[in-house]
Structures are given as structure tokens and as C-alpha cells.
Amino acid sequence: MSSDTIALNVFTKLVRYYILTSTTAAGSGHPTSSLSATDLIVGLMFGGVFRFDADNPQYPNNDRLIFSKGHASPLLYALWAAAGKVSEQELMTLRKFGSRLEGHPVPAFPYAEAATGSLGQGLSVGVGMALNAKLDKLPYRTYVLLGDSEMAEGSVWEALQLAAHYKLGNLVGILDVNRLGQTGETMYGHDVAAYKRRIAAFGWETIVIDGHKMSQILTAYQKAVKVKDKPVMIIAKTLKGKGVSFIEDKPGFHGVALKPEQLVAALKELGEVDKTVRGEIAKPEKVLRIANALSPKPQAPNTYPSDKPVATRQAYGNALVRLFPQFPNMVVLDAEVSNSTFAETFKKAHPERFFEMYIAEQNMVGTALGLSRRGKLPFVSTFAAFLTRAFDQIRMSQYSQANIKFCGSHAGVSIGQDGPSQMGLEDIAMFRTILNSVVLYPSDAVSAEKLVEQAARHQGIVYLRTNRMATPMLYQPNDEFPIGGSKVLKSSAKDAVTVVSAGVTLFEALKAYEELLEEGITVRLIDLYCVKPIDTTTLKIAARETKAIITVEDHFAEGGIADAVREALTENPVPVIALAVRRMPKSGKPEELLSFEEISAKAIVGAVKKFTRKE
């Protein structure tokens, strides 16, 4: 046994000690899942291959380490304790309220690259970080620790495909094949050859090792860094609970902390631990190779003919190209529909900063998170309906403090003949649930361009809903659309009710306004271009000055504009009548579907008259 191996084995014992004591102190956690990967990650961090400035976790040249199996967080914290960056006292705060050592990693802990724990997502984040290094010609590598249970997740295989497609030789996966999941044996158990065949078939270099033999571990990492043109997966056969005989490779101990008396027995087995040693991590290159920034000089908004309808999705693509000089960290990702979302406009102008993600929306969102965590400004586009597939990735990105802009096109029944499978009808509700998210819904090309710019300037998650149909111009190039605002398009002192809408149905509301005006009925008309945060002030004024609010939206009734308006007016007892998609959608012409769902001009007129007759 080499001196290096002997020295690293001292650290593995210390890390196991920290894992066991911290989880017992917490009374919960995942010690067995942490113990199985201990040798693997100790060998990585302290074996001379991993390069990281521990005093500067965000240093651009640092290698990145993602715990996709986030439940192994006791291992992550124990490693940084062994590196001298977490005290033993702090380790004892694991899982306690207010501690940065949460049950699954979040970026409040500075050595956690992203929030993980919803399994199957870490490799996608790693793909994003590896793409970032390739784009900026940075020398760092990205390592992702995966569990064998999460290999059943389709998002992992989406990431495997894309990493090979982009020839990410700077990406290394570490697969901890410990055989046991939460309720029993995993799909392939300890059949590491099965994993090798499948992963190799996706275009990865594969290295199979015994995950508890340090000499094999170090050799595997040394081989991995020599591979240049494709990603590498180290497939390690391990034992869950390694190092403690009475839990090692035994079912029933997933997510179970040892009781105090069990801890005493486990530590006795572990033997004497040197708590004075501290692991040294190799330093990264000091030369920064970051792409040159472009000129931040603002460009004038695109101009659109006032007499020619333009789809908001088209304006989205135009805006990306216009804004890129002001936001040189921008990247654009699309799920093989860029000619429909108009992300292809950016692709043609800046192909090196456009990433085709193919029809794999979960991986697209995870990759965007990885890019965001490394300082990029990702714009992510697909049909609004298909973003629902990736809701878990979107949900998790909020816990990583993501700065991602989502664009869902082809929203609502107004897309027409393609039918319900293509209709985004849940998207507003979905994005409204994301903490501190912004939900924008432009109605014409001018507002769309301005709202794309607002999205780029905003720090955080933003959703932009665009339409398939071309719509007329409503606004002038000098009009502004601040986040949290709305536009009052029609107003008078005699308004009977207020109609609130956005997108395609706003034009139905304008038609209804003209028809009602001819009959002597005036209504207030509000363009709710920002659904979240909602313009509460304007809505409250409307609630005071008119007798009811009628909302009109090309979206299911639950969770959309109507619910947003009701929440804003909880202290104002005013009726809110919601016109929304309530019938099972079907194929048809847009105007037929708007009529069928009773969100057309005719339906709005009927709703207004019905209410005014009651009055």
C-alpha cells in the first residue's frame, strides 16, 4: 500500500466518524448512503486530482463537485470538516433549524454547487457547468456523484445523451453502486457490468472499480482526467453502510441514523480517529480564461409596422438578439422547437451561445441551472405545455437561487388545430407557485420585447408566456412595462365593470369593449401583462370604482389570472367573474376554440350584460 493510500485512509476514517456522529446528533439523516461513497470522494478531494481554492469557493477555475445523491449530505459536510472549513461543533447542527447544514444540500452552504436531493437532476446541472467551462475556455472539470437508485430516472439518461453529444470531456460522473435503495435492492443491484454496457452505449468512457480500494479509486481519477473528447463515468461497486458491520450491505437502514448506543458500537469498530489531520486540496490554475465581454451600449428596440400583426413569440427572438450586447453572459437553450419559439433568431446570430437541447425538457432546465450557477443568463424556451414535464427541475431551481428566464410559447387553446396535447393551459399556475418568481404575459410585439428586457434585468426566475397567433400592435416603442405593473387601456368615470385580461384574449376584450360601447355600456379594460407580482394598486382602484371584475384568460380556470386577481383583492369585497378554459379542448380554428371555451368577445359581452342586468 502506497504512502498516499495510507494517508487517505486516515481521512476516510475521520470522515466516517463525522458522518456517524453528526447524523446521530441530528437523530436523522442518511449515514449509510454517505458511508458507501466516502472512499470515492475522499480520494477525489484529497488525492491530488480535484483542484479547488477552499478559501474562494466561487473562483472561476475551481473544479466543481455536485452531489446528485443529495441525501448523502452528511458526507459533503464531513469532507469540508476534514478540509478545515466546517468545525466539529457546526457538524453537530446538522438538520437543525437555522443551520446551513440542511438535510439536503442548498447553496447557503458555500461548497454546495446547487440544491439537490430530488434524485436524477445533478448530472444535468453538471452538464450545464461543463458546457460553461467549454464555452468560456476555462480549465475546470465538473464531477457529479450519482446514486444507483437515481439511475432509474429518465432525466439522468437525457443528460448522458447530451453530454456525449457535446463531447464534454471535462465532465466526470461517479456512480456509487451500493446495491440498496430505500425499500430494497436497486434495479441492477451490484451488476456493475449492466451499468457499464448502458452508459458506454450512450457514448461515455466507462471505468469500473471497487469503490473501497483507494488505489483503484486514484487510478480511475487519473485516467479520467486524460480523456479529452468524451465524458467519463466511474462505476464503483460499493457497500451501503461501509465500515460498520451491523449495517453494512443490509436492507432497512436507508435514512436511519444510529441510536446513541449503536453509535458507541460503530465507533469502536471504526477504531482510533485522528481529529487533528486536515486534508489539502490541490489549487486550481490561476490564469483566468474568460470570454471577452461585449459592449454594454443599449440598442434601440426593434420597430414593428403598426398595421401588421406580429406574434409575441417572434418578438421574443428579436429581443434576444437585440439585448445580447447588453447582457454578454446570455445563453439560449431550446428543446428542438426553436423555429416555433423563434429562439432560432438568436441561434442564427450567435450560434456559439445557443444550445440545442433536443426534446428533453427536464435535462434542459437542469442544464440551464448549471449554467446559471456559473454566472450565465440562460433563456430557456419550448412550448408552454412541455415545460410542465420539467416542473420538478423548475421547482428545485428556486432553491439554488437560479437566475433563469423561461419562455413558454404556443400557450392556450388559441394555437388551434394542433389540439390539446400542444396547448399550454397550466403554465401560469405552475410558475405562480415558484417562490419570488415573475410571470409576464405580453399581448403584442412591443410589450413582448420590453418584457424580455425586463426579464433579463431581473435577478431570479422569470416566466414569459408567448402566443402562436400574430396580434396587432397596441403600444408605441417608447411605452414602458415595469415588472409589477399593468396597463389601463380603457377607462371612464361611468365604467360598469372592469375587464382584466392579457395575451390573445385581450384583443377579444377590445372587441367586446367596442360592441358594448355601441350599446352605451362602458367598461374599464386592463392589460395584466405582469401576472406576478400583480398590480394590486390598479386592481384595487378598479374594484372601488366599478361594480365587478371580469377576468378573461386562455388558461385553465385554476391558478391563472382569475385566482391572481382574487388574491390581490381579498380585502376588497368585489365580485370576480372568471372566463377561462373549462371545457375539454379539441382541435379547431383559434376563433372556434375561443368561442367554444367562452373566452371570446361574444362571451365577454354576455358576461358584462349578465352582470349589468343583475344590477
From CA 224, how far away is CA 480, in angstroms rounded? 52
Cell of 32: 449509510
Cell of 570: 381579498
From CA 347, how far away is CA 614, in angstroms rounded? 54
Give me the DSSP letters along 296-346: ----PPP---TTS-EEHHHHHHHHHHHHGGG-TTEEEEESS-HHHHSTHHH
480 is annotated as an active-site residue: no
Question: Which element (helix H / strand E) includes 380?
Answer: strand 377-383
From CA 330, how far away is CA 58, in angstroms rounded? 19
From CA 418, how far away is CA 589, in angstroms rounded? 9
Note whether 351 and 484 are within 8 A (CB).
no
The CA-CA-CA angle for residues 433, 438, 440, to 5°, reads 110
From CA 191, how far away is CA 408, in angstroms rounded? 41
From CA 102, how far away is CA 90, in angstroms rounded? 12
Q: Which of 113, 361, 449, 597 is catalytic?
A: 361
Cell of 459: 435577478
**Length of the chain measured in residues:** 615
Q: Which of 601, 411, 612 is nearest to 510 (CA)?
A: 601
Active site residues: 361
